[in-house]
Structure 1
Amino acid sequence: MGTAGATSEVATLKEAVSAAERSAAAERTEREKQEAQVAAVRQELQALMEKHESLERDSKTRESELASALESAKAAKAEAHKSLQEIESVKKIAAGKAFFMQSKDENVNYVLLTRIRSSPGAFADLPRSVSDAAAFYRAEEGSSTEKVFWSQYAEAGHPVPPSDQLKQLVELHKVAEQAMKGLIVRLWPGEAMPGSYFGLVRRLVDACPWVEVVKRSACIEGARRALARAKVHWGKLDVKKLITDAPPAGKEYCTPEMYYKTVLKGARKIADECPRDVIIE
């Protein structure tokens, strides 16, 4: 009886151990399954986070590209508008209509030049310039290429084709270029000639203030030579006092203007001695 009881107890224990092992295995399997599910969820979450970050980057990139595209579109629109204006201006010129160029030379030294450029003068009226050129060369003696060219438009009673208008503009361009070069040589004899038509124009923009410099230099040089000759005869003459002091007693009524006529011949002699290529500041 004792042996049978022990055997039964051992069997019961074995059964309990087996049950415990099965339960532990089931729990382990369930735990592994849950861990696998958690890992899968983590991977999905990580993938979602990466996708979200990628979408954010793409969104910022698209915003930047969109802003850049908008700026490019604005610039293209402005350029197209400018081109249309230029085309309209060319059409007006080709049709012989007045065309006004807005001057950028707002400096006080360039007021006269600005007034000339912005006025509806011969530069804006091609037919009038053509008529003036034809009359000018017709009055010249002899024969020349220019005379022959402009004579064909002297009595044009019909609209001139655009191709001929372009030829007229080219010829006027040549005449203007030669005139500008001649003036630049006289005003800046020691400097190199600009290498482009626009360079000639820009140099002439500086002509207005430069003429003032030349005029001032001429006044100084003439006065310097005249006063130097006076010093030759009166070595102790104080030139500064001569210019700034009032007339001596008894001659208060005397003014320099009273003697302009009598000294004019001498002034012309002095002018002949003055150099033409020296600027005195």
Structure 2
Amino acid sequence: MTAHEERPNEPILLRRDEGGIATLTLNRPQQFNSLSMAMLEALIGAIDDIARDESVRAVVIAGEGKAFCAGHDLKEMRSSHALAFHQQLFRLCGRFMMKLTEIPQPVIARVHSIATAAGCQLVSMCDLAVASENARFAVSGINVGLFCATPSVGLSRNVGRKEAFEMLVTGDFIDAREAQRRGLVNRVVPPDELDAEVERLCASILAKSPLAIRMGKQMFYKQLEMGLDAAYQLASETMACNMMCEDAGEGIDAFVAKRKPEFRGR
């Protein structure tokens, strides 16, 4: 999946598939991989394609150049004073962020450097995140007079309420270790170990039943928005249905027989 904007010969989004892993790389390095409308449309198209591709077992989102993602394209935002334009932009961004939770494959953010504003939102909306020790995170719209309302949705569902609000009203950066402590990222490694750590996480996912992961991801996000009783009802039904799947029988039989399971996604 590729798309084009101000650099007509340069794709703004790169896709590479290898070994069941689809890597989407934001490719606007001169604009710090900001989320222009064209970039958001390209990402939505790529995610839709991946959702239908059963050969893809995991998705990695990365950034080219000095930044992972610096948020929305401020120049594009200032190009229009029409409310309808900005409503369209933020709805498009919200649509993309929701798709990250809706596709069946786990999505991993590979954060090598700064992730600010909607870039921090992107990290928060990925299922998992692996960060370099060089990475830094902020929801910094407040510094230019713009409260990061849409980034607050994902941020507040990852970190504690008071920690999220402090980031939103100060615009201050936190480093990768602090982001990990707060629950925004899963793993933090030295820069030269980032790719290897992402590969290790992907390998662990790929070793599991693809059907169980699909069912589990769908249930996980649904139950988060439910009351406790409804969440248990959904989880119970999901586990019962999962037990009827061939992969579950194979996995349990393999465990009892002390052998490696051979999952078939059925």
TM-score normalized by the length of structure 2: 0.23
TM-score normalized by the length of structure 1: 0.22
- Which of the two has higher C-alpha Rg? 1
Structure with the bigger percentage of strand: 2
